Structure 1
């Protein structure tokens, strides 16, 4: 098969070929819906159909009415394809599997109500645990409608929550007889169950997809019953042994604790004498501390008393009072000394003023002299040659100033 096409109409179109030739083929929707496996390119098929002519293209084609994989049955191929797909989804992951309860109170059986399988499982369950509750959900395990009944039985036990573990099983048979337990709906119902499920389908050599999805696979229904429920007598014997061991352990533990308690009492007696001795030592230390505090307080009071007398003796109040009696006399002496100093300083200042007056150029000007300055730079003129004829000069007198114009310069001072 090659060039497989699946349009929305539901019909399948492909090409069938061998080493030397090829021909178009069509599988109508009614036939395709009955196929138990998925078609894919490269699949070798054994087919049956009738040859027709597709008039729009004038080509021969085969309308297939039956198809089966060559060398592998359709059911087996469908089994492998569905197994691969569900494995990829993680439905068979061992991490999803849950442990079975150790001692369930009620076991749910999803199986056919007739036949030896249900009787064998009930017999084994009652033999191993006589007071066990058994809830049988009767379903068809093969044929039309069996898939829906198995799925509804599993869901009903989960919804009622009356069972602790579920066993889904049937007797042996052909692949077609066991096919209901390879249906995807049954596999997904087992994987989605909140209660742990034991799969017991067929004999030990029979393998179904329900075995992979269940939390535990049993080779036979009877083995499933044995795996789901322990032997009650063995459990009781084990509990009796554990009870004896617990009693013995408690007796030994009580004896050990009594010995430890006696040692603790002895230790407490020694500790009591130690505490009494320590208390006596503490009392002595307290007395010594009280006496030391009293002595320290006494010494500090004596020191404070001595410091108080010293402060009184060194008080500046007496010195201040003594000093106040000498203040008027000292003030009078200070005023007298200051008067003498002021008179001496006044005479010295007057002498300096007379000396400065004699040295002042203003005193010279009062005797008829003058100071001549050039204009406009106001430089003092010492020689006649420092000015020119027609130049303005300024003559400073003892009283006032004269602005003069040079009409003639005479170099000889005797003229």
Structure 2
């Protein structure tokens, strides 16, 4: 159909006005035919089916079917009507607002009733700085979802580092400020400098390589990444995903000193500590020796005062105890207890002596009884003990035989006799 329409238009262009009316009517197009021809030309064009257009929004009106507005050049030399259907509105990254610069992705469509073409919008993005802000926010949200900005993963800086690495431009004022501050605050500190480009398209790769050099060296205990202030576009390298991930995976603590307080880069968010100037980073990374000495003297004074106060408190407590002892008259109580103990001792001695005398008397009685029962004592009274040859005591005359030898135990000595007669009747 498109080719036939093109052929008819070509043929019509060769005709002159002096041709018969019937021939003109046969070759003339209807309005809808011409409109369809133009619509096909526009809508089948590969470039116009998906086109990016930038401009300023004007005459934005909400309709029940969608949002209608005009996109025009800033110098007002050209404009194009645009429509965003209601189904597409929630998908827009940037809502068209009159007076704002935007970038539109859409396709050309022809409105037959009016013979007007318009841009059917699929997506809108902020232009210029707004586009950078959108990309920044999208990357920030993605890294935030990964947990790269979580406080739990941030490490504390070493208290007294001996070796510090600095990543910045060798020609930047930031490097001079850091050197001066470190030298004033902590003389003798070992500083490793890893130069990098901190502005422009090559900056992200340069910063990543500088960080890798520090890690390969292995001596640094903390790393400073810094540059001075600048425009937003000059600080773009610190929002680069490569730089952010390099800082997140760095094996040593990182402190950033980038730009000024109004600037917040993704590198600041992922760093373990962030401050807003290179000088502030140098001040935070090392203590001041003069401040340390002052703090030391203050601790000595405080310790001396604490010891003195502790001694005074102890002396006061001791005096209080002395006063309490005086009020309690413990000396009198001790004297009374001593007297009680002396009386009990005397009483115990008396009881012990009485029992000892009773025991001695009882012992004498037993001794006397034992003496009376002693065979020797009986013998002393004139009695004798007769024993046979086997040592057995002779208790009856009937046990003895004439001629048998006997041993007689007297009170004084022993005699040996021989039985010459046995009389059992006596």
TM-score normalised per structure 2: 0.46
Larger radius of gyration: 1
TM-score normalised per structure 1: 0.47
